[in-house]
Amino acid sequence: MKVTFPHMGTIDLVLSDLFDRTGLEYIIPPRTSERTLQLGLRYSPEFACLPLKITLGNFIEALEAGADTLLMAGGVGPCRFGYYAEVQKCILKEAGYDFDMIILEPPAMGWKLFIDTLRLLAPGKSIRQIWRIIKTGFRKARAIDELEKYVLKYRAYEVKRGDMTKAYKKALEIIKPAITDEEITEAREEAFSILEGVEKDLGRPCLKVGIIGEFYLLLEPFANFGIEEYLGNMGISLERSVYLSDWISPSSKNLIMGISDQEVAQAARPYLNHFVGGEGLPSVGHTVIYAKEGFDGVIHLFPFTCMPDTIAKSILPKVSRDYDIPVISFVIDEQTGRAGLITRLEAFIDLLASRRKQKSKLHKEHDVLVNPRFGVDVTLSNSERGLA
Amino acid sequence: MNATVGIPQALLFYKYYPLWETFLKELGVDIVVSNPTTKKIVNSGTSLAENELCLPVKIFFGHLVDLKDRVDAIFVPRVVSVERGTYTCPKFLGLPDLARSLDTQLPKILDPVFNSRLGRKRFYESIFDFGKQFTKSKFRIWRAWMAGVSAQKAYQKKLLAGATPIEAIADEQVSTNNGDLKIGLAGHPYNVHDPYINLNLIKKLKKWGVSVATEEMIPPKILEHEANRLPKRLFWSYEREVVGAAFHWMRNKSVDGIIYILSFACGQDSLIQVLLESEAKKRKSVPLMSLVIDEHSGEAGMITRVEAFIDMLRWRAV
């Protein structure tokens, strides 16, 4: 059995680590590329959202590379994601591929099913051992997320452009081989010291922007054209509403992001009084929270036809008016081009900068120094889409 | 004078109107139903709505605008779940909030929560909570609800007997339904039964000598049973009915062909389409055509496609 799984941000680090522990053979599909997307598009239903199409492409590329078992998460709705595994199975079988599929359904579908699936993924291990493996896996996933959070926030302040990105890559390399709890703690410290060692100018007045929206688009740099790195390089400090380990974890505390589901729902209540699946409610709630915390603006990303975030998009203009915070929504599908997205993003950032300028004039503060490298380097990535 | 409450003739109207109407009337309000969908309604809805929303929701907004100057309040329930362990569409979960966030002045929005996931007790509690706005008497609320339920049962009986929702609500004569061909119309009731959305497809089919079957004519038990043949239980109630109906027709071949009406950018339809098409391919029993509709659908294009489909079915029958 050679297990494979779709890419989503740093999930390959987390899952390969888990499989190393359970002793399962696995194949990491080639990093998501234009080819992945094209393969996925060939078989996907037209109105399915981009995540289904891209992950289908991941599966096809992994099957080509010799995988025979696909691992996908399930769900209980109302977001469509919960049925994606079934549909992908149906599509790939019809396309003539031969494989098994393991669908990890949440415990809400029944504990027995959940535990049986875990046993499949960890052959010969006892429940207690599986529990330990998961716990350590989470510890590592959280460490990786903490690094990411730090990078998002401080990339804007680096003195020499690109330093933080380089340091982040190095930090991930350090944390990758850590196995035991002690090693993880040690690697985490070392990784952080690398990030903290990057020369920063913390006095620089940077714009602060929140990124919200659908989890896959937020987590997968290919799908969001690497806009986090791009914005960071423009000199914008970022905070994001979703992190991988928060998203996987059944707890509602959101340890990395730091705001619990309940608080988010509370913030969203005047505008959206019921959860609508996916990130619909969090998108509205986080916008309110970011506005209250004095962020300069909010960027909302979601795939075309995504039901929950389409609802959020309909409601956000009202939040934006009430709290006087600029919000821009990007609806992304396979037709979206990077250049168009960047143009609109730049215009949005210009708007935020001039608003900040107005405000600082009123308060006689320092003039804001926004995107010191603005307009110098638009093509930061080597490829048209996402990371090099 | 009683307060007037408007009910938009869109979305779940086709499923629950008799229940809502009777319930509200018994609570002592007058009901105003919005006009049937027209071009004007569609335009006012689409100009207010977010681009990415599906056509039925945009049209729903149009109906809100149609009602807004004529009523004291508009009834936009939050239908979260109608049976245990399932949901409805996410857009129904957020419908009252969507309505409130529209950039137009609307009257008060009444949004009772219907949620069967939390058990019977919580379900009735939310009904009592809603009824309290009209009467203090719990007994009266209960009686109003029960009257609604029995009206709904009578309505469903009429549907089973072959009436379309519009005929059943208006208590009209059931239109003749005998052609040489029989086509099953699968899809959400608000797409299948709103003549404006689907460009009057049912009437056209009947004119062409085709009799029409819809999911409402199949007993719920059979729908349930057929939908359970999917490897994983679908977690949307209304989509289970769509799948159940299509699977039923494919299995017992009681229709000559199936037309599946789906709205552009509908989340669930995009997945259901895959499931239906793959089942149709596997069974090779009944031809299936998917018809995607949006606000730009042209009548000529639709007629051409449906006529070609009917011709093909007639050739098959020879």
Residue carrying the six token digits 């043949």: B229
Residue carrying the six token digits 């008060």: B108
Q: Residues of A with CB below 8 A from B51's CB?
A: 331
Length of chain B: 318
Q: Residues of A with CB below 8 A from B273's CB?
A: 45
- φ and ψ of A305, to 5 deg: 75, 5
- Check A277 against B87: CB less than 8 A apart: yes
Mutation for B interface: A41, A47, A92, most B CBs within 10 A? A47
Going from the C-alpha of A239 to that of each of A9, A231, A280, A284, the distances in angstroms are 16, 11, 18, 15
Residues A170-199 have a mean pLDDT of 94
Helix or strand run (H / E) with residue B45: helix B39-48
* pLDDT exceeds 80 at position B176: no
Q: What confidence tier does A47 reach under pLDDT thresholds 50, 70, 90? A: confident
Instruction: Please indicate if any CB of chain B lies within 8 Å of the CB of A313.
Output: yes
Q: Which residue of A has its CA nearest to B272?
A: A87
**Distance to chain B for A140, nearest Cα, Å:** 32
Instruction: Please indicate if any CB of chain B lies within 8 Å of the CB of A151.
Output: no
Helix or strand run (H / E) with residue A207: strand A207-213
Q: Which positions 9-48 of B are in contact with A (Cβ < 8 Å)?
A: none
Establish how many alpha carbons lie within 13 A of residue A39's alpha carbon, considering only the half-sphere containing its beta carbon.
20
Q: What confidence tier does A110 reach under pLDDT thresholds 50, 70, 90? A: confident
State residue A364's pLDDT score: 58
Whether A17 contacts A136, CB under 8 Å: no
Beta sheet of B210-214, edge-to-edge order: B210-214, B181-186, B257-263, B288-293
- Check B52 against A280: CB less than 8 A apart: no
Question: What is the average pLDDT score of chain A?
Answer: 89
Cα angle B217, B232, B263 (rounded to 5 degrees) comes to 55
pLDDT 10s digits, B131-166: 999 999 999 999 999 999 999 999 999 999 888 999
* pLDDT exceeds 90 at position B179: no
**Distance to chain B for A94, nearest Cα, Å:** 8
Of A368, A350, A349, A375, the closest CA to residue A204 belongs to A368
Question: Is the N-terminal amide bond of A78 cis, ω within 30° of 0?
Answer: yes
DSSP A109: G
State residue A203's pLDDT score: 87
**Distance to chain A for B290, nearest Cα, Å:** 12
DSSP state letters, B237-284: HHHHHHHHHHHHHHHH--SSEEEEEEETT-HHHHHHHHHHHHHHHHH-
Span of A5-9, A354-358, B191-195 with lowest mean pLDDT: A354-358
Instruction: Please indicate if any CB of chain A lies within 8 Å of the CB of B82.
Output: no
Distance CA B73, CA A359 (A): 41
- Check A47 against B264: CB less than 8 A apart: yes
pLDDT 10s digits, A237-288: 999 999 999 998 888 888 888 899 999 999 999 999 999 988 999 999 999 9
Q: Residues of A with CB below 8 A from B84's CB?
A: none
Instruction: Please indicate if any CB of chain A lies within 8 Å of the CB of B235.
Output: yes
pLDDT 10s digits, B66-99: 999 999 999 999 999 998 889 999 999 999 999 9
Q: Residues of A with CB below 8 A from B242's CB?
A: none
Q: Among residues of chain B, what percentage have pLDDT more than 90?
A: 79
Q: Among residues of chain B, what percentage have pLDDT more than 70?
A: 100
Indicate the residue of A86, A91, A277 with minimum beta-carbon distance to B90. Answer: A277
DSSP A31: P
Task: Quickly name the fold that domain A3-125 has.
Answer: Rossmann fold (3.40.50)
Residues A64-70 have a mean pLDDT of 94
Indicate the residue of B52, B53, B232 with minimum beta-carbon distance to A86. Answer: B232
**Distance to chain A for B231, nearest Cα, Å:** 8
* pLDDT exceeds 50 at position A388: no
Distance CA A86, CA A383 (A): 33
Span of A218-222, A370-374, B228-232 with lowest mean pLDDT: A370-374
Q: Residues of B with CB below 8 A from A91's CB?
A: 274, 278
State residue B10's pLDDT score: 93
Task: Quickly name the fold that domain A206-388 has.
Answer: Rossmann fold (3.40.50)
- Check A280 against B94: CB less than 8 A apart: yes
**Distance to chain B for A191, nearest Cα, Å:** 41
Residue intervals of chain B classified under CATH 3.40.50.11900 are 176-317
For residue A299, the SS3 value is strand
Indicate the residue of B94, B113, B274 with minimum beta-carbon distance to A311. Answer: B94
**Distance to chain A for B125, nearest Cα, Å:** 17
- Check A48 against B271: CB less than 8 A apart: yes
Of A37, A62, A63, A65, the closest CA to residue A52 belongs to A37
**Distance to chain A for B317, nearest Cα, Å:** 28
Q: Residues of B with CB below 8 A from A272's CB?
A: 94, 97
- Check B94 against A79: CB less than 8 A apart: no
* pLDDT exceeds 60 at position A382: no
- Check B270 against A273: CB less than 8 A apart: no
Q: Where are the domains of chain A?
A: 3-125, 140-201, 206-388
For residue A301, the SS3 value is strand
Residues B263-283 have a mean pLDDT of 90
Alpha helix segments (H runs only) across chain A: 11-22, 34-43, 50-64, 81-94, 111-121, 127-154, 163-175, 181-197, 215-219, 227-233, 244-248, 261-268, 280-292, 307-323, 338-362
Q: Residue B161, Cα to own-chain centre: how many angstroms? A: 18
Indicate the residue of A79, A94, A310 with minimum beta-carbon distance to B52. Answer: A310
DSSP A379: -
Q: Among residues of chain A, what percentage have pLDDT more than 70?
A: 93
A267, two tokens: 């913030």
- Check A47 against B265: CB less than 8 A apart: yes
Whether B47 contacts B83, CB under 8 Å: no
**Distance to chain B for A158, nearest Cα, Å:** 38
Q: Residues of B with CB below 8 A from A271's CB?
A: 97, 101
* pLDDT exceeds 80 at position A362: no
Residues B8-35 have a mean pLDDT of 94
- Check A90 against B264: CB less than 8 A apart: no
Question: What is the average pLDDT score of chain B?
Answer: 92
B142, two tokens: 């209960």
Q: How many CB atoms lie within 10 A of CB B177?
A: 17
Q: Which residue of A has its CA nearest to B48?
A: A314
- Check A87 against B87: CB less than 8 A apart: no
CB contacts < 8 A, A to B, total: 114
**Distance to chain A for B113, nearest Cα, Å:** 10
- Check A79 against B90: CB less than 8 A apart: yes
* pLDDT exceeds 70 at position B198: yes
Shared fold status for A3-125 and A206-388: yes
State residue B180's pLDDT score: 87
Indicate the residue of A80, A90, A318 with minimum beta-carbon distance to B101. Answer: A318
For residue A16, the SS3 value is helix
pLDDT 10s digits, A116-126: 999 888 888 89
Instruction: Please indicate if any CB of chain A lies within 8 Å of the CB of B129.
Output: no
Residues B15-20 have a mean pLDDT of 95
- Check B270 against A311: CB less than 8 A apart: no
Instruction: Please indicate if any CB of chain A lies within 8 Å of the CB of B93.
Output: yes
Q: Residue B134, Cα to own-chain centre: how many angstroms? A: 28
Q: Which residue of B has its CA nearest to A86?
A: B232
**Distance to chain B for A8, nearest Cα, Å:** 21
Q: What confidence tier does A312 reach under pLDDT thresholds 50, 70, 90? A: very high
Q: Residues of A with CB below 8 A from B235's CB?
A: 76-78, 82-83
Distance CA A332, CA A215 (A): 13
Task: Quickly name the fold that domain B176-317 has.
Answer: Rossmann fold (3.40.50)
Cα angle B226, B227, B232 (rounded to 5 degrees) comes to 130
Whether A151 contacts A194, CB under 8 Å: no
State residue A94's pLDDT score: 92
CATH classification number, B4-160, choose in 1.10.3210, 3.40.50, 2.60.40, 1.10.3470: 3.40.50
